[in-house]
Amino acid sequence: MAGICKKCGLPQDLCACVELDKEAVRVVVRLEKRRFNKDTTLVEGFGKETDINGVAKYLKSKLACGGTVKDGSIMLQGDHRDNVKKYLIECGFNEDVIEVH
């Protein structure tokens, strides 16, 4: 028997909390200069129910870059602002909630 979701009370196979969380967030993708003038793409604004480590792993493999998860945001090495939105949509995020700066 599947477990019960603590948020909505439905069984785990019927729970839609993760999908609802993806629609309710405001994801911001921006470029930041780090030490030694290195470009870093920051992806921030994920909800509490989002598997941020899984999203980071997916983005790093698709973009062929290094990165980390720190303080609820994903830091990717290099300037990937153009492609991050496309891959976040593939992850299940709504196109309207992704904002690229």
Instruction: Kindly report, residue by residue over 91-100, the tens digit of the pLDDT.
Output: 888 888 889 9
State the pairing for strand pair 98-100/39-44: unpaired
The rounded distance, in Å, linking the Cα atoms of 19 and 50 is 9
Residues 6+ apart with CB under 8 A from 22: 47, 50, 92, 93, 94, 97
B/e letters for 32-58, b = 16+ CB within 10 Å, e = fewer, are eeeeeeeebbbbebbbebbeeeebbee
Q: What is the mean pLDDT of residues 79-96?
A: 89
pLDDT in tens, 25-76: 789 999 999 889 999 999 998 877 788 999 999 999 999 999 999 998 999 9
Which domains are assigned to the chain? 26-100 (3.30.780.10)
pLDDT for 24: 66
pLDDT for 38: 94
